[in-house]
Chains A and B, each alone.
Chain A
Amino acid sequence: GEDVEQSLFLSVREGDSSVINCTYTDSSSTYLYWYKQEPGAGLQLLTYIFSNMDMKQDQRLTVLLNKKDKHLSLRIADTQTGDSAIYFCAETTGFQKLVFGTGTRLLVSP
Chain B
Amino acid sequence: GAVVSQHPSWVICKSGTSVKIECRSLDFQATTMFWYRQFPKQSLMLMATSNEGSKATYEQGVEKDKFLINHASLTLSTLTVTSAHPEDSSFYICSAIQRNTEAFFGQGTRLTVV
Query: B103 near A42 (CB under 8 angstroms)?
Result: no
Chain B interface, DSSP helix/strand/loop, else mixed: strand
Contact size class for B?
20 to 34
Query: A42 near B100 (CB under 8 angstroms)?
Result: no
- In the assembled complex, the CB of B41 is this many whole angstroms from the nearest CB of chain A, namely 8
Q: Is A80 an interface residue (CB 8 A)?
A: no
Q: Which of B6, B41, B45, B46 contacts A42 (CB 8 A)?
A: B6
Query: A96 near B43 (CB under 8 angstroms)?
Result: no
Q: Please encode chain A, from 38 to 81, with 1 for each CB lying within 8 Å of some chain B CB and 0 for all others.
A: 00111111001000000000000000000000000000000000
Known A-B contacts A40-B110, A95-B97; A103 and B42 likewise in contact (beta carbons under 8 Å): yes
Query: A42 near B43 (CB under 8 angstroms)?
Result: no
Q: Is B67 an interface residue (CB 8 A)?
A: no
Sample (24) of A-B pairs whose CB atoms are under 8 Å apart: A35-B105, A40-B110, A42-B4, A42-B93, A42-B106, A42-B108, A43-B93, A43-B105, A44-B105, A45-B103, A45-B104, A48-B102, A88-B43, A94-B100, A95-B101, A95-B103, A97-B46, A98-B46, A98-B103, A99-B46, A100-B45, A102-B43, A103-B41, A103-B42
Residues of B near any A CB (own CB < 8 A): 1, 4, 6, 32, 34, 41-46, 49, 93, 95, 97, 100-108, 110
